[in-house]
Amino acid sequence: MAKVSVGLRGWRFDEEEVFTDDGEWAPLDEMSDDTRNRILRLGMLLDQPCDACYLEHGEEYRKRAKAAAIVYGEPGDEVLLCESHESDFLYWFRETGGSDLTGEEEFRDSFHEWFAAGNRAPEGYGPDEHIEESPESLPNLPTPEEAQRRLEEAAEYEEKRYDLRDPDQVDGDAGEEEDLDMEGLDLDTEYPSG
């Protein structure tokens, strides 16, 4: 079972959970909750700046920054990094106790505080080599542009909301429009609160 990164390096997915045999995206509703949450979150993270660069240069950096290339942490509490700041994060994670915060709410904030205090990885401390095992067995992965487009579509899928008062937005079980009898329905009814 091959592991692949999509959009940003760092989060790795089981290839057959995110892609069909033809190399197309698997349907979101067939993915595990964790995988679907990460895929949807990636759509919001693409083109965001590196956290460390932003801490160093502030709002001015955001205007001229390259997008982050790497993501670590859990969805909603992730750290975004460029190639040059990955070693600082890895040093914090491996050598200063950052790994103890894996899955904790303060994961990102703790790294930000450590970095903002002027801490850095020692000279020559580098990220691991990133090696693709059996690249010939991977599906035809999308280009970064195509991955971004598909992730944005996935984010739109998650954000879709229905106005139940509008029958044109309510689909039936078979994917056909369902006729709703809205006559006599009082949507202004106030219910007692307990």
Note the pLDDT tens digit of each residue in 58-72: 877 666 666 799 999
Query: What's the rounded mean pLDDT across residues 158-177?
Result: 51
Count of domains forming the chain: 2
Between 62 and 165, the more confident residue is 62
Give the separation between CA 7 and CA 143, rounded to whole angstroms.
Answer: 9
* 8 neighbors 42 (Cβ within 8 angstroms): yes
Give the separation between CA 125 and CA 90, rounded to whole angstroms.
Answer: 9
Any domain includes 181: no
Any domain includes 183: no
Q: Based on the domain organization, do 18 and 35 belong to the same domain? A: yes
Note the pLDDT tens digit of each residue in 75-110: 999 999 999 999 999 999 999 999 999 999 999 999
Any domain includes 103: yes
* 18 neighbors 4 (Cβ within 8 angstroms): yes
Confidence check: pLDDT of 48 > 70: yes
In angstroms, the Cα distances linking 93 to 63, 88, 114, 125, 141 are 28, 9, 11, 13, 30
SS3 of residue 28 by DSSP: helix
SS3 of residue 129 by DSSP: coil
Print the domain residue range for 31. 1-46
Confidence check: pLDDT of 159 > 60: no
Domain end residue (candidates: 69, 103, 123) = 123
* Max Cα distance, the chain (Å): 73
Q: pTM value?
A: 0.66
DSSP secondary structure letters along 47-116: TPBPHHHHHHHTHHHHHHPPBP-EEESSTTS-EEE-GGGHHHHHHHHHHSSGGGGTTSTTHHHHHHHHHH
